[in-house]
Structure 1
Amino acid sequence: MSKLFLFAIGGTGSRVVKSLAMLLASGVKMENTDTVIPIIIDPDASNGDLTRTVEILRLYKEIREKASSDESDFFSTRITSLDELGDGSFVSDNFKFDIEGVKEQLFKDFIEYSSLDESNKSLMSLLFSKNNLEANMEVGFKGNPNIGSVVLNKFKQSEFFKRFAQNFEANDRVFIISSIFGGTGAAGFPLILKNIRDADPSVPHHSFLNDARIGAVTILPYFGVRGNEKTTINSDTFISKTKAALHYYSRNVTGNRSINALYYIGDKVTNEQDGADGSSEQKNRAHFIEMAAALSVVDFMSLTDQELHVQQGTANEPLFYEFGLQNDASVVRFKDLARATYDMLAKPLTKFALFRAFMEYHYEELAGKKGEAWAQDGNNKLNRDGLDTRFKQVLNQFNTHFKEWLQEMQYSNVSFHVIEPDKTGDDLYQLVVGAPEKKTFLSGLLKSSGLKNFRNQLSESAPKYDHLASQKKLLALMSATTASVFDNNISH
């Protein structure tokens, strides 16, 4: 099956990839591919948003390698690094494209300003301010796309680009994630698009790249930053930068039909994040807009090859999309989503939230008890000794990220508050906000509610998965049981 090469540019790109990883872990389906290759492009290698996303991707990979199966919806899509493709001679978990020449170097040194003659120095002074020339690029381009466009143009000359080209086949697809109101994303999107569409004949598989099916989401301003001594970023310039970038895109992206499908998304800007120019201090809260942007990747992959036809490097009928809600709400519940979005999200997120809550609050206590047939009986046991210690640690770390992701989205300026992740015991089935547990006469008679009902369903279903190794059995059993709970025990 075809591959999806996912270029994520800048801090916003990393945060959208994080949301996509959470959706795929929960079982959101990606059509027309079984492999996603994230390629994160950010000169700020220590960016807190980037490092957290890379950690999540590595955890996802390890869980999937040990526990995924055809009988589980969880972690069903393969996520891998570019280094792991090809002949397998060089394997790493590196999801980042390292831009040469930006570490410990000022922009003026990058362009070799001191070696220019006077006339060219004068030209550079017209194109770049003194602050631009003195900019330290190690923490990114700090909202200066004019700097980013120069530095990121080295992408097409890199070994990384050649390795991407070598592994790109005729039916593969590309998707580019970027913001439009900063420096790295605004500059990187059109450059990467151009470098793929205009790949030189000397580049491997250049004809495949020229006619690649390419989608992108361009993220308009959706948050602001509170000014402080840690940042030079000014949110007041976001709108003017966006207008300038859109004008450029109208000629060099949409106007020349170089993109097959372009998704636009943004939100009212409020100064809700603490400002930081980069490095580990740039670690923003997850935002609903980032999850919605991640859904654009899923939507793009649902389009047919015919809808994304390209001829001689030009898209026949470019497609353009926006994101909307069914109900205008400042606090979004599942019921406020459009029907197609609800059908895509509600069941997977609820399933994984149930799984995570059970593993965090109840697994250790119950897995060692007599009478817990799901853990103690059958082959490949799910008790504490049956599950690999390393696997439990990795799963716990990923689940912690998932819980934080849900909680952080509650506090974005458009709050996405659909799950109460700390519901436990008899209240386990109350975790979907606005969708209480269904009460039946039989469940009331047997007092089988919440956790007790969940345990009973686990024990009834466990024998079906005895043929699977313990880690695979756990995910398959939890996937099936949480699906039954969503369908039969939670109102929706």
Structure 2
Amino acid sequence: MKKLFLFAIGGTGERVLRSTTMLLAAGVPAFNGYDIYPIIIDYDAANKDKDRTRDILKQYQKINRIAYANHPLSSMPQDDQNMGQFFGCTMKEMNGLNDFVLDFNPGKTNLTFRNKIGFDQMKGNLLSTHSLIESLYDTSDEPTTELNLDLTVGFKGNPNIGSVIFHKLSDYNEYDAFVSTYNAEQEDKVVIIGSLFGGTGASGIPVLAQQIKKDIPNVDMAALMIQPYFAPEIVKGGAINAKLFDSKTKAALNFYERSGIKNSMRAVYHIGDPYPTIIKYCEGGAGQQNNANPVEFISALAIAHYCGDMVPTGTFGNEYMYGLSRDIVSKVDKTGKQDSCRLFADDFDQQTKDNVLKYLTAFAYALKYHHTDVVGDKLKKEKTFLAILDYENIKSDVQNHKLSINGKNKLQDLLIYLNDYVEVFTRWLSELDYEGDDNLHIQPNSHRLAFFDFGKEISDMIEKPQEKAKESKLSWSKVGNFIGGGSSNVNITPLMSSNLKDRKHLDETGKKMNTKEKEFVFMDILRASCLEIVNKK
């Protein structure tokens, strides 16, 4: 089985990984055939973005392990029209990681960069190094200067500090485990995700890329170099200055160009937003939990683009941008409030609709149906597929979120975990479409993605603009009819029942199961039925 290593660096990397997990949960075919190895790297040990992403990965992993213990994607027939499964890719953890997190952090509180490098102890033979550092960094006693920055919450937008720290990453056993696990002959892939305008990502991407290329010369690697798409409010005396983001990004891009790093990559993706979303000021730690942003979703699309064999084989240094064919401006009114621009599924190019959004829509239908009809008890069990799955015996426990004893009833546990994922998915959707909060003086996303409204019936849950805007298609460009309308008659239940037979889960009598694992049967017919609905639109 091929392996996909996803190095998520810093807060931006973690949030992109969150959106990528949604595509994995939707069973986007680009990821079929891969075992997924997320590796979260963040010097900010208390970052809430990290905690949230880690928890979502664990939720995904639980569902996958229950549903596909005996039916992994590799065991499915080659001609299966289902083209995968919800939660179908196995998610694995590298040896030594702690819930997908590499414990790369200061290890103690109030650790300054000065103390980390032993600046005050540089005497004798190290005087010349001491003098060099004095010429490179501000050595005054101000707490916001580089040498005096508290590293407990990361590098605060200072890649010149982070790059020094990141050079120690290759000393970790977990990194060695990655190098020994990677297998070029199996067509393994590596994707490095981080921002160019902050501290952690900007410093981590070049150091990690160079080290991987050194240790694995024939590595198949891509990088998502994410440019400014959000900007913390300007705070007097704050260590993070959003006004410097553009200059830092230009400096980073200039370095990549001169150093030749990008030529060691099969693909480099440039993604950003010229109208950044204004967010509350935060230097990291427990306060850093940013809303999902369309740029992060588009970054996840970049990973699907790379894994879906859209990059020319045998070539290096390919660069891509993903953008609109016309400029959609996010305006600011006289009061300083951001007037965000709402984007919809129909604003994407046909390739993205066919390869990604179709499956995301089927997944949304599935979660809605499971939550309202199955768990919500809208079905007549004796006349549906649920009678054959013996759902009536576990219905009460599922509705009361009572897991089976020692995991003996896998279908019961699966239905509970799947219902839990509804909240994970809908929260993510609402953040992508965040409209701000005037009472709390929080700005909306400068660009908002409006996909699904879970408050509506399945037939009407796809979001559509009230007035059709001028044609605008998001599409990949190399540097150098959708699922649009709702149906008034969407009925998934008959399809679930017919797919029990059509997908050969029943014997000839139609009363007994051919497939023993009911948890797999449920996921299989749910995916097939919802895709059938989408394909008919």
Q: TM-score, normalised by structure 1?
A: 0.85
Preserved contact between residue 327 and residue 337 of structure 1 (Cα < 8 Å): no
How far did 1:191 drift? Answer: 0.3
Which aligned segments of 4 or more residues in structure 1 are displaced greater than 6 angstroms? 379-382
Tell me what 2:451 maps to. 418
Tell me what 2:171 maps to. 157
**One-letter amino acid of the structure 2 residue matched with residue 415 of structure 1:** R
How far did 1:369 drift? Answer: 4.6
Tell me what 2:46 maps to. 46
For residues 65 and 326 of structure 1, what CA distance do their matches in structure 2 show? 42
Q: TM-score, normalised by structure 2?
A: 0.78
Please state if 1:321 is matched with 2:320.
yes
Tell me what 1:430 maps to. 460
How far did 1:271 drift? Answer: 4.3
Please state if 1:262 is matched with 2:268.
yes
How far did 1:394 drift? Answer: 2.7
How far did 1:345 drift? Answer: 2.2
Tell me what 1:442 maps to. none
**One-letter amino acid of the structure 1 residue matched with residue 242 of structure 2:** S
Tell me what 2:196 maps to. 180
Candidates 115, 118, 130, aligned match of 1:121 = 130
Q: 1:141 to 1:405 in 2, by over 3 A?
A: same
**Deviates further, 179-188 or 113-122:** 113-122
Structure 1 SS opposite 2:87: coil
5+ residue gaps, structure 1, are 84-89, 200-208, 310-315, 440-448
Tell me what 2:142 maps to. none
How far did 1:392 drift? Answer: 3.6
Tell me what 2:278 maps to. 272
Please state if 1:356 is matched with 2:364.
no
How far did 1:374 drift? Answer: 1.8
How far did 1:354 drift? Answer: 1.0
Candidates 136, 144, 147, aligned match of 1:133 = 147
Q: Deviations over 1:38-82 (max 9, x none)?
A: 111101122111111111111111100111344652012222111
**One-letter amino acid of the structure 1 residue matched with residue 222 of structure 2:** G
Q: How does 1:52-71 map to 2 (within 5 A)?
A: 52-68=52-68, 69=71, 70=76
Q: How does 1:275-354 map to 2 (within 5 A)?
A: 275-303=281-309, 307-309=312-314, 317-325=316-324, 329=328, 330-354=341-365
Structure 1 SS opposite 2:282: coil
Structure 1 SS opposite 2:382: coil
Tell me what 2:24 maps to. 24
How far did 1:165 drift? Answer: 1.2
Q: How does 1:68-107 map to 2 (within 5 A)?
A: 68=68, 69=71, 70=76, 73-83=85-95, 94-99=99-104, 101-104=106-109, 105-107=111-113
**One-letter amino acid of the structure 2 residue matched with residue 223 of structure 1:** F
Q: Deviations over 1:307-348 (max 9, x none)?
A: 453xxxxxx542111112366553222211011111122211
Preserved contact between residue 11 and residue 42 of structure 1 (Cα < 8 Å): yes
Tell me what 2:406 maps to. none
Tell me what 1:470 maps to. 518
Preserved contact between residue 381 and residue 392 of structure 2 (Cα < 8 Å): no
How far did 1:7 drift? Answer: 1.0
How far did 1:303 drift? Answer: 3.0
CA-based RMSD of the aligned residues comes to 2.5
Q: How does 1:214-229 map to 2 (within 5 A)?
A: 214-228=221-235
Structure 2 SS opposite 1:324: strand
How far did 1:155 drift? Answer: 0.9
5+ residue gaps, structure 2, are 77-81, 140-144, 329-340, 398-408, 435-444, 465-483, 506-512
For residues 430 and 260 of structure 2, what CA distance do their matches in structure 1 show? 36
How far did 1:245 drift? Answer: 0.9
How far did 1:281 drift? Answer: 1.1
Q: 1:94 to 1:123 in 2, by over 3 A?
A: same
Please state if 1:196 is matched with 2:212.
yes
Q: 1:392 to 1:126 in 2, by over 3 A?
A: farther
Same amino acid, percent of matched pairs? 30
How far did 1:119 drift? Answer: 4.1
Structure 2 SS opposite 1:480: helix
**One-letter amino acid of the structure 1 residue matched with residue 138 of structure 2:** S
How far did 1:395 drift? Answer: 2.3
For residues 220 and 280 of structure 1, what CA distance do their matches in structure 2 show? 24
**One-letter amino acid of the structure 2 residue matched with residue 431 of structure 1:** M
For residues 387 and 32 of structure 1, what CA distance do their matches in structure 2 show? 24
Preserved contact between residue 210 and residue 261 of structure 2 (Cα < 8 Å): no
For residues 354 and 326 of structure 1, what CA distance do their matches in structure 2 show? 30
Give the length in aligned residue pairs: 451
Structure 1 SS opposite 2:30: coil
**One-letter amino acid of the structure 1 residue matched with residue 367 of structure 2:** R
Candidates 481, 495, 498, aligned match of 1:457 = 495
**One-letter amino acid of the structure 2 residue matched with residue 96 of structure 1:** V
Preserved contact between residue 233 and residue 279 of structure 2 (Cα < 8 Å): yes
Structure 1 SS opposite 2:156: coil
